[in-house]
């Protein structure tokens, strides 16, 4: 009996168009694949000739079989090379984190305010913050084509170059208009980095650890944010314009490292396959996913799936064509997950934390600017630790489960915070224990958010998008993230001024809605290759398909598939 996997390997000879120049070598390549498949995979109706080891459940039999057959190790020399390439991509997140932490502190510096005749609040300050977001939104329409045309690594290079150009305009600025122009260019460049970076990590990471590695991408926001916070903490003691110019110049550091590092990074095999460069794709897969073995089970499986799922004439070759994002039911379901993640990651209450923290600190007598910066710096460090832990466990716990549990806890935390704020959040409050309890629960919310949402902000949308729509889809994701962040920046202070702590009731209601939406529409993507995730969205009800499990018997010869869990009873 010939398995479907073996037939898929044989089809490679017909569909790839790359094997004929090296026919003898590739015949052996395919024969080895066929032999391994027949040796390790067998149907549930065939007699079991070996001793059963144990029974478990898996999301996808083919991927699990390949992992068991290959037994990849994360500690080899080749894997550490791969980690270096992924680290270069992680630096794209540092760029965003650095600016995200920079402007809030910069806005409080007296030399910055005096030089540009600025105030901590007001329309002029709001415009300086808004122009970065406007640049990011504008860049969202160009970042997809950049990343599709020239590849993921050159997309990162282009983004880094634009950011350095923006820094060279912003740091030596002699007028507010020049400073704002630099910030617009920065925002434009960050949009490209935020598209190319996570796409590169997800497509290049070893499939056995894709969740952890891609989850780590967004945790590097803090690797950029923490130095920015401590740089501001240190340069405030410089009594000149250098106190604000120096932190701005440092924005170019991560971008420069990205540009230099990209020159050493290989292109992702999926981009190579989509551009009909199959032999290069196989070499990259064999080296970094198969430890140099072209007959590695994981290499054979992922390459076969790539040539079946990735079109060489897809919409990624047409820069103007965004229709594939919305023209079918599976596409709409994908975008419901992507856009949902964009809004949920910004509107779960994290935007209000940064606004309300100074009020609570002031209410317990912490009014010194330096001390408040110290509290913020400590929170950044704690958030980074929890985000890293979240990335480590996202493959064990699952994407959907983490989001459901985390968001449910948000409802609880905001209920407690709202109660404590109503009782002890006023400036006239004399109960220091009540205020400290409120601050403690804001910290608890912050670290819960970091564990549940920070790793998934880049990982989940990348996984939900198919290859042809990944770059443009991430551009759309970035667009909606900025729309949501724009609301956080400008609506929260305005509404807060009118209704104060009662605004938190909106977060409680919204987080309840998020829990319901995630439960019914978000899919589980763990335990599959990027191409195998397509099966989920092609199903009539993707959410239900994604949580189905195969019952398998793991034996000395491989995996025996006993069928879907729901069909066993």
Q: What is the mean pLDDT of residues 12-31?
A: 39
DSSP-derived letter for residue 10 is H
Residue 29 clears pLDDT 50, i.e. is over it: no
CB atoms within 10 A of CB 13: 16
pLDDT band for 119, please (50, 70, 90 cuts): confident
Q: Which residues share a beta bridge with 554?
A: 54, 559
Least confident piece of the model among 179-183, 228-232, 359-363: 359-363
Give the integer Cα–Cα distance in Å for 501 and 415: 11
Paired tokens of 256: 């420069």
Is residue 258 within 8 A of residue 294, CB to CB? The reply is: no
Radius of gyration, alpha carbons of the chain = 25
Block residue for tokens 């905001």: 414
pLDDT band for 358, please (50, 70, 90 cuts): low
CA 303 to chain centre: 24
532 three-class SS: coil
Paired tokens of 40: 């390790």
Q: DSSP characters for 491-526?
A: HHHHHHHHHGGGGHHHHHHHHHHHHHHHHHHPPP-T
CB atoms within 10 A of CB 551: 19
Looking at the chain, the whole-number percentage of residues with pLDDT higher than 70 is 83
Block residue for tokens 């406007």: 134
CA 295 to chain centre: 31
Q: Residue 515 half-sphere exposure, CB side, CA atoms within 13 Å? A: 15
DSSP-derived letter for residue 267 is P
Q: DSSP characters for 1-43?
A: ---HHHHHHHHHHHHSS-SGGGHHHHHHHHHHHHHHHHHHEE-
Q: What is the mean pLDDT of residues 86-107?
A: 89
User: What pLDDT score was predicted for residue 317?
Assistant: 64
User: What pLDDT score was predicted for residue 362?
Assistant: 65
Q: What is the mean pLDDT of the chain?
A: 84
User: What pLDDT score was predicted for residue 392?
Assistant: 93
Is residue 344 within 8 A of residue 514, CB to CB? The reply is: yes
Non-local CB neighbours of 205 within 8 Å, separated by 6+ positions: 82, 86, 213, 214
pLDDT band for 443, please (50, 70, 90 cuts): confident
Least confident piece of the model among 103-107, 326-330, 352-356, 398-402: 352-356
Is residue 232 within 8 A of residue 220, CB to CB? The reply is: no
Q: Which residues share a beta bridge with 54?
A: 554
User: What pLDDT score was predicted for residue 357?
Assistant: 64
DSSP-derived letter for residue 465 is S
Give the integer Cα–Cα distance in Å for 146 and 182: 21
Give the integer Cα–Cα distance in Å for 479 and 487: 13
User: What pLDDT score was predicted for residue 249?
Assistant: 96
Residue 457 clears pLDDT 50, i.e. is over it: yes
Closest by CA position to 536, among listed 400, 347, 344: 400
Give the integer Cα–Cα distance in Å for 270 and 540: 27
């Amino acid at each position: 009996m010939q398995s479907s996997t073996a037939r898929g390997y044989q089809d490679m000879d017909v569909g790839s168009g790359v094997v004929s120049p090296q026919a003898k070598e590739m015949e052996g390549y395919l024969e080895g694949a066929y032999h391994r498949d027949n040796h390790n995979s067998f149907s549930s109706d065939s007699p079991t000739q070996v001793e059963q080891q144990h029974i478990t459940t898996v999301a996808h039999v083919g991927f699990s079989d390949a992992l068991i057959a290959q037994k990849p190790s994360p500690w080899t020399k080749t894997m550490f090379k791969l980690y270096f390439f992924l680290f270069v991509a992680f630096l794209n997140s540092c760029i965003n984190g650095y600016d995200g932490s920079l402007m809030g502190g910069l806005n409080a510096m007296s030399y910055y305010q005096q030089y540009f005749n600025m105030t901590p609040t007001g329309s002029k300050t709001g415009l300086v913050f808004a122009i970065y977001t406007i640049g990011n939104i504008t860049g969202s329409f160009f970042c997809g084509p950049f990343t599709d045309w020239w590849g993921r690594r050159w997309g990162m290079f282009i983004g880094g170059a634009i950011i350095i150009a923006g820094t060279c305009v912003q740091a030596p600025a002699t007028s507010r208009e020049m400073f704002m122009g630099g910030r617009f260019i920065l925002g434009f460049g960050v949009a490209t980095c935020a598209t190319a970076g996570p796409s590169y990590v997800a497509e290049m990471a070893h499939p056995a650890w894709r969740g952890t590695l891609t989850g780590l991408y967004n945790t590097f926001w803090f690797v950029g944010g923490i130095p920015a916070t401590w740089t501001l903490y240190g340069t405030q003691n410089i009594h000149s314009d250098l106190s604000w110019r120096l932190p701005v110049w440092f924005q170019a550091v991560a971008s420069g490292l990205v540009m230099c590092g990209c020159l050493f990074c290989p292109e992702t095999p999926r981009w190579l396959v989509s551009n009909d460069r199959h032999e290069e794709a196989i070499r990259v897969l064999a080296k970094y996913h198969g430890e140099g073995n072209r007959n590695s089970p994981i290499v054979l499986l992922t390459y076969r799936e790539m040539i079946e799922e990735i079109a060489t004439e897809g919409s990624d070759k047409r820069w103007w064509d965004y229709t594939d994002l919305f023209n079918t039911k599976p596409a709409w379901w994908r975008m419901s997950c992507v856009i949902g993640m964009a809004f949920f990651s910004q509107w779960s209450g994290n935007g209000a934390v940064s606004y309300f923290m100074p009020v609570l600190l002031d209410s317990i007598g912490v009014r010194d600017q330096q001390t408040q910066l110290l509290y913020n710096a400590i929170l950044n460090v704690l958030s980074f630790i929890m985000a890293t832990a979240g990335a480590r466990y996202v493959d064990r716990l699952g994407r959907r489960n983490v989001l459901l549990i985390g968001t449910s806890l948000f409802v609880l935390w905001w209920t407690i915070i709202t109660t404590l704020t109503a009782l002890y959040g006023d400036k006239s409050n004399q109960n220091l224990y009540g205020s400290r309890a409120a601050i403690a629960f804001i910290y608890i919310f912050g670290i819960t958010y970091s564990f549940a949402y920070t790793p998934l902000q880049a990982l989940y949308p990348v996984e939900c998008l198919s290859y042809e729509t990944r770059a443009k889809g991430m551009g759309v994701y970035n667009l909606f993230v900025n729309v949501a962040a724009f609301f956080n920046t400008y609506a929260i202070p305005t509404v807060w001024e009118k209704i104060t702590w009662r605004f938190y009731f909106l977060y409680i209601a919204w987080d309840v809605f998020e829990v319901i939406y995630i439960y019914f529409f978000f899919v589980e993507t763990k335990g599959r290759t990027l191409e195998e995730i397509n099966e989920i969205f092609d199903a009539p009800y993707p959410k239900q398909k994604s949580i189905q499990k195969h019952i398998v018997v793991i034996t000395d010869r491989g995996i025996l598939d006993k069928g879907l869990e729901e069909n066993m009873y």
